[in-house]
Amino acid sequence: MDNPERLAGDAYGVGVNTEDIDQFGELFSVSTARLHGVSRGRLRRADLIAPFHGVRLRKDAAGPLTHAADDADPYQRQRTARVAQARIYSARLHAGHFFSHQTAASIWGAPLPLDMDRDGKVIDGAELPLHVSASGFVPFPRARGVVGHRTLQSLTAVEMHDGLRVTSPAATWVSLGALPIRDLVALGDFFCRRWRAGHGRRNVGRAPLTTVEELRELLAAGRRRGAARLRAALDLIREDAWSPRESLVRVILVTAGVPEPELNVDVHDDRGRFIACVDLAYPEQRVAIEYMGMLHGATWAADVERLAALRAAGWTVIEVTAPLLRRPEELTRRVSVALRAAFE
């Protein structure tokens, strides 16, 4: 005789195999499966994993969903891991809940500082907390591995992005006031970037994700954690920054009293031929600042030739590395010396 847990009659009395989970895809909520008659025993089988309470994921699909891309960049690994966790949790996301804070920033592709453990090691994968918010009187989000937040509807804005319900770019930025000013500036630069024309620039004319004016309006809408830092960062946001490390270099220089450099300047030789696009520059003094990231190995030869061409054209080039960024006084000194030498 058929197992009553495996067969259920539909409205016309036709048997339906309720233990067949293929109908739910790779990822599904326990509540959905139970509503369709799937037994608790079936949901405990070894071919399924439970990344969050109330969520099941087919084990044969777990790899691409639960592990960050095999990327040498730790920032990208953490960003990928946060988005993967959000996609998994979305199977049980309450209708009144949405992703926020660091999770929202990663969904938008925005730069964040690295999350480190107590031993100073980079945190990877599922150990990163997932940030979920509720507004108004919606039940508070509670689950293992989830940091819940509550906000007022007047203090946030929610959009759909890449299939996920998430705070808007402006609402995401104002929620992260606990971050240092330099990181808030890098986030703001990313969200407010205008895709202007220039040599080899991509996506020319693409609209920014938000604007400085929108950030200012949402910041003024009510009390914010870290409001003083947010206000200070707001004045330092620029619309033509291309990377968080460039943003950090600029913030170090400006807050130290060095004149603000221009961003992403196209340099040409005396015959009008393009030489390079410089990360930060003082064109009048012919001083260029180039950030040399940890992933420059693949383009090392091209970088060497590009910087040599700049120097041959009479430019002073200051190369900034990660160790130099950890010595902001030395970075400021090198730039100041180069600017003074241009006037001698």
Q: Which two tokens stand for residue 129?
A: 């907390």
- By three-state DSSP, how is residue 68 classified? coil
Among the candidates 239, 260, 279, a domain finishes at: 239
**Count of beta carbons in the 10 Å neighbourhood of residue 116:** 11
Assigned domain for 296 exists: yes
Q: How confident is the model at residue 73 (pLDDT cuts 50, 70, 90)?
A: confident
Q: How confident is the model at residue 65 (pLDDT cuts 50, 70, 90)?
A: low
Assigned domain for 174 exists: no
Beta bridge partners of 277: 266
pLDDT of residue 254: 97
- List the CATH number of the domain containing 252: 3.40.960
- Give the CA angle between residues 333, 240, 170 to the nearest 5°: 110
Assigned domain for 227 exists: yes
Assigned domain for 172 exists: no
**One domain for residues 24 and 107:** no
Half-sphere exposure of 82 (CA within 13 A, CB side): 30
Among the candidates 221, 239, 257, a domain finishes at: 239
pLDDT tops 60 at residue 67: no
Q: What is the DSSP string of 272-334?
A: S-EEEEEEEEETTTTEEEEE--TTGGGGHHHHHHHHHHHHHTT-EEEEE-HHHHT-HHHHHHH
Residue 288 CA to residue 261 CA, distance in Å, equals 9
Q: What is the pLDDT of residues 219-251, one digit of tens each?
A: 999 999 999 999 999 999 999 999 999 999 999
Q: What is the DSSP string of 210-273?
A: S-HHHHHHHHTTS--TTHHHHHHHHTT--SS---HHHHHHHHHHHHTTPPPPEEEEEEE-TTS-
pLDDT of residue 7: 37
Q: What is the pLDDT of residues 298-344, one digit of tens each?
A: 567 778 888 999 999 999 999 999 899 999 999 999 999 999 998 87
State the chain's mean pLDDT as an integer. Answer: 88
Q: What is the pLDDT of residues 140-168, one digit of tens each?
A: 998 888 999 999 999 999 999 999 999 99
Residue 70 CA to residue 314 CA, distance in Å, equals 41
Q: Which two tokens stand for residue 32?
A: 């959905």
Range(s) of the domain holding residue 295: 244-342
Q: What is the pLDDT of residues 83-142, one digit of tens each?
A: 999 999 999 999 999 999 999 999 999 999 999 998 889 887 778 999 999 998 899 998
**One domain for residues 124 and 195:** no
**One domain for residues 269 and 197:** no
Number of domain units in the chain: 4
